[in-house]
Amino acid sequence: MEKEWWKEAVVYQVYPRSFQDSNNDGIGDLKGIIQRLPYLAKLGIDVLWLSPIYQSPNDDNGYDISDYQQILPEFGTMADFDELLRVAHQHKLKVMMDLVVNHTSDEHAWFQESKKGIDNPYRDFYIWRDPKEGQPPNNWGSEFGGSAWEFDEETNQYYLHIFSKKQPDLNWENPRVREAIYAMMRWWLDKGVDGFRMDVINLISKDKSYPDDPLIKAGKRTTSLAMVANGTKVNEYLKEMNQEVLSRYPVITVGETPEVTIEDALAYAGFESKELQMVFQFDHADIENKEDGFGKWNADRFDLIELKKILSKWQTGLSNKAWNSLYWNNHDRPRVVSRFGNDSPAFRKLSAKMLATVLHFMQGTPYIYQGEEIGMTNVSFETIENYRDIDTLNAFQEYVLEKETLSAEQMLTYIHHSSRDNARTPMQWSTDLHAGFTQGEPWLEVNSNYKDINVDEALKDPNSIFYYYQKIIQLRKEYPIITYGDYQVIDLNDPKVFVYSRNYNGETVFVICNFTAETVERNDHLPVEKTLLLSNYGDDDANNIRPYEAKVYLFTK
């Protein structure tokens, strides 16, 4: 297998709004990120992925872009961005931008023109359709609730929006759209950015017949994202993007690709595909999703065997053919220590380290989401008024207030479990007011546990989760087997432990992780001569695998 720098890299995602506020307006900003670059360098990461920092009315916190080549004033100026890039590079950190090109904001100049009239030269930049018997063109549901079509009274047509109605989908069939996007991408790359994380990039090719969604009809789901995922021309477009832009720069690329199968992933990110380097698959991230009208809105605990099956399927399915991205968290997901671990005081640190071990010793490029490295947890705000996320607010509106299919109390329980705001509460830096994130009023309240869980505390404690992550990153640099070794799962059907091995050039790395609060006995008949590379207890109790214990051995066969 070919060695590549991006296979050996560790990526850290910053959600700028919630990372560090430098001017006390309650909103994180670029200057705040610059202040914290030494912290990220200390952790040892290689690439910084910035969630969108572009001009935006913030209907979806920046994932609704109104100008791709301007910085959102709340975040700073282009000069601040240039400074961020310069200082990041000084620290040997690469910068990966979020590329949101399935849709724009409805306030983007292209859409402003587009909606002016059927003959406007920008009309075809978006997807407009005539009404069908006075109704929307089909029954598709938007990701954020309601129909995926919005009616425009002026021109008597509907436009498609897979996300909010302020996020109209671009028409990738139009070569002018594609050229404009490629030009914009080159502009950022010429500025010196090092790559792109591509937002819902596999939704860009739509079936032009716009068929009804049978599962919506059957009441089995409310959103039709699956109807537009992995469309017939998406690989053609990505190959073109690669040829026109990506292949000309030494970039790192990852596509966010909901509804993706192994087969699809091989097409997007196969070593020979000439499209993307990696994709984010959703199988494990959607593990508790239900096939009823509520989708992700539930409070169910995941099943470990299921999780092992999913991750192992991706490890073996891409082996030697494509490259995995490894992630537990991002700005759209609940916090992993609360979700797959145990965030009670007794087990939070142990289980956060255990989860880090499971993920980072697999084959692929690991992604850390801000706060994961100090074990930040989910938040349980008392009322819906505390929430800011459009997805959460719309779901509450729909199920509690409009359809009355869930009580407010029930929905809040689900929100505590699944809301995207779990990931978006401000970064917890210290025991100061608002966790040191801001001295103003934070745009979203800080999690009240910040007095115990914060960066200051983590940096003072040699046994902290932070230093454990730092150690893992160092090990990855020291031992190529962690990057390049083959993966083999062991005892797939054991409901308590996750055990696997990695093999490379006659060496084995053996990983044992306990997902329960009980001691589990097991004997893996490992050679007597072996090194304990890493352990979250700091020692080894042989065949007793203690609560949430993680240990990693290295030996020669």
Minimum distance from CB of 478 to ligand GLC (Å)?
33
Minimum distance from CB of 436 to Ca ion (Å)?
14
Nearer to ligand GLC, 54 or 468 (CB): 54
Minimum distance from CB of 454 to ligand GLC (Å)?
25
Question: Which residue's structure tokens are 């914060």?
Answer: 454
Q: Are 544 and 521 in contact (CB under 8 A)?
A: yes
d(CA 324, CA 35): 31
Minimum distance from CB of 324 to ligand GLC (Å)?
19
Task: Return the bridge partners of 521, or none.
Answer: 544
d(CA 356, CA 295): 27
- Binding flag, residue 400, Ca ion (CB under 5 A): no
CB atoms within 10 A of CB 304: 17
Minimum distance from CB of 21 to Ca ion (Å)?
4
Q: Are 289 and 302 in contact (CB under 8 A)?
A: no
Judged by beta carbon distances under 5 to 8 A according to partner kind, the member of Ca ion, ligand GLC, none in contact with residue 421 is none
* Among candidate residues 437, 428, 317, 310, the one with its CA nearest the CA of residue 373: 428
Active site residues: 199, 256
- Binding flag, residue 198, ligand GLC (CB under 6 A): no
Work out which of 4, 25, 173, 244 binds Ca ion, going by CB under 5 A. Answer: 25
Counting residues that bind Ca ion (by CB under 5 A) gives 5
d(CA 337, CA 344): 10
Neighbour-count burial of 302, counting CB atoms closer than 10 A to its CB (0-12 exposed, 13-18 middle, 19+ buried): middle
- Binding flag, residue 444, Ca ion (CB under 5 A): no
Nearer to ligand GLC, 47 or 350 (CB): 47
Q: Which of residues 251-270 bind ligand GLC (CB under 6 A)?
A: 256
- The beta strand positions in 296-441, using DSSP E, are 323-327, 365-369
Nearer to ligand GLC, 225 or 427 (CB): 225
Report which secondary-structure segment, H or E, holds 21.
none
Structure tokens at 332: 């759209």
Q: DSSP string of 234-284?
A: HHHHHHHHHHHTGGGTT-EEEEE-TT--HHHHHHHHBTTSSS-SEEE--TT
Nearer to ligand GLC, 63 or 323 (CB): 63
- Binding flag, residue 332, ligand GLC (CB under 6 A): yes
Work out which of 60, 106, 150, 288 binds ligand GLC, going by CB under 6 A. Answer: 60
Nearer to ligand GLC, 331 or 348 (CB): 331
Minimum distance from CB of 145 to ligand GLC (Å)?
13
Judged by beta carbon distances under 5 to 8 A according to partner kind, the member of Ca ion, ligand GLC, none in contact with residue 21 is Ca ion
Minimum distance from CB of 420 to ligand GLC (Å)?
7
Nearer to ligand GLC, 198 or 534 (CB): 198
Judged by beta carbon distances under 5 to 8 A according to partner kind, the member of ligand GLC, Ca ion, none in contact with residue 417 is none
Q: Which of residues 433-492 bind ligand GLC (CB under 6 A)?
A: none
Neighbour-count burial of 195, counting CB atoms closer than 10 A to its CB (0-12 exposed, 13-18 middle, 19+ buried): buried
Judged by beta carbon distances under 5 to 8 A according to partner kind, the member of ligand GLC, Ca ion, none in contact with residue 332 is ligand GLC
- Binding flag, residue 29, Ca ion (CB under 5 A): yes
CB atoms within 10 A of CB 39: 15
- Binding flag, residue 421, ligand GLC (CB under 6 A): no
Which window, 18-26, 311-319, 381-389, 531-539, contacts Ca ion (CB under 5 A)?
18-26
- Tell me how far CA of residue 159 lies from CA of 152, 206, 233, 391, in angstroms: 8, 13, 20, 20
Question: For the chain, first and last CA: distance in Å?
Answer: 21
- Binding flag, residue 127, Ca ion (CB under 5 A): no
d(CA 90, CA 37): 10
- By beta carbon distance, the residue nearest ligand GLC is 63
Judged by beta carbon distances under 5 to 8 A according to partner kind, the member of Ca ion, ligand GLC, none in contact with residue 27 is Ca ion
Work out which of 10, 27, 96, 100 binds ligand GLC, going by CB under 6 A. Answer: 100
Counting residues that bind ligand GLC (by CB under 6 A) gives 9
d(CA 504, CA 438): 47
Judged by beta carbon distances under 5 to 8 A according to partner kind, the member of Ca ion, ligand GLC, none in contact with residue 25 is Ca ion
Minimum distance from CB of 74 to ligand GLC (Å)?
17
Binding marks (x or -) toward ligand GLC, 210..249, rule CB under 6 A?
Answer: ----------------------------------------
Minimum distance from CB of 48 to ligand GLC (Å)?
17
Minimum distance from CB of 72 to ligand GLC (Å)?
15
Binding marks (x or -) toward ligand GLC, 511..530, rule CB under 6 A?
Answer: --------------------
- Tell me how far CA of residue 148 lies from CA of 91, 126, 143, 225, 370, in angstroms: 44, 13, 8, 9, 32
* Among candidate residues 489, 501, 550, the one with its CA nearest the CA of residue 526: 501
d(CA 116, CA 22): 40
Work out which of 163, 323, 443, 498 binds ligand GLC, going by CB under 6 A. Answer: 163
Nearer to ligand GLC, 63 or 510 (CB): 63
- Tell me how far CA of residue 166 lies from CA of 55, 125, 421, 439, in angstroms: 14, 15, 20, 31
- Binding flag, residue 200, ligand GLC (CB under 6 A): yes
Helix, strand, coil percent content, the chain, rounded in steps of 5? 35, 20, 50
Contact residues: Ca ion, CB under 5 A: 21, 23, 25, 27, 29
Contact residues: ligand GLC, CB under 6 A: 60, 63, 100, 163, 199-200, 256, 331-332
